[in-house]
A and B are shown apart, each in its own frame.
Chain A
């Protein structure tokens, strides 16, 4: 029994150390373009800062990685999460969408924020700066609403 235990622990350790060397593609290389939501709509600085802090880690090409993203398998998990978030909504490429798709995405954004579904609780657990208090929430909702109205015109 003891032998087994020891052997298994060693193998777990080796695997854990081993996966630290598997390269993870990072989501931070691409430069900001005109298609970027904040650039595209020339958002006010205050609004832009809230959107960057609360949405951009998972919904843009510019993730700000925490230190523990260098520890595997946490890094793998994060990367998975980010690509999922980007496939739903990539604010870095928002300007490239058709007006119709922009409206669709904006309605989803509004409903997610309004119903406190985004930013996700599991994300807020480690990113308190991303939390939308009622003031930030009101600001964002009325801002996104105004953009939606502009597209409808």
Chain B
């Protein structure tokens, strides 16, 4: 076990080293220049060159890379060129909206998808099943940003129930900030619910015909108990997997929705950093996201060992 853990940790370190290098190179070879973006449209080439020198961007790529890696080894993701603060602080500040947005989106997605998926499977082939399957297919095809704009138009502009954008001003309470998340969470949650509903339906269909379900019914158990306690419990593992994957995608993939709703989350941080060519922020964010994925995979692999001792690496 210890040997496996050590080996996996070494593999993780190697993966992260590759990620660090690829991200560093890709960011640097992309066209655009943070110095030119900072100085504005009327700056001359000399102004840009002077600022590049002040930012250390005139050094050779290996020198910049060495400096960056040295910083990483000391736990330093660097200093944002535009935000006047360390990258770790910028990331930490953006974690809250992204975390709550992901959480609410998943809750909304599950709140819609699980009952619909279970009922569709239970009434397999019925009108309800056909309608929900069609709606799910339609929902899966909707871009979340478009749905977001529609929700914004209806609930923020026409009805005035929510704010169209932002995350509250200075001193806004948690409740006010969460109020700003309702519409984007609905936009993401409704779109994500389609996938989860289809997986739930398929998974439930697999187990509803199994012998133990028939046995439970034969024992005179109520249909609710049969479906929810026996069938659903056993269908839950693939459903959990897809929920987990959806959550992971939302953490890094709510970029467009965050931008449309002006939410200062990790997604919008990456977008603005890319548009401004804020190299340290792009590198730091991608590194942290990649690190999270690697860590989650590591934990899952280790859980396999705990759950099923027959698993060998």
* A-B interaction: no
Q: What is the interface of chain B, defined by CB distance below 8 A to chain A?
A: none
Q: What is the interface of chain A, defined by CB distance below 8 A to chain B?
A: none
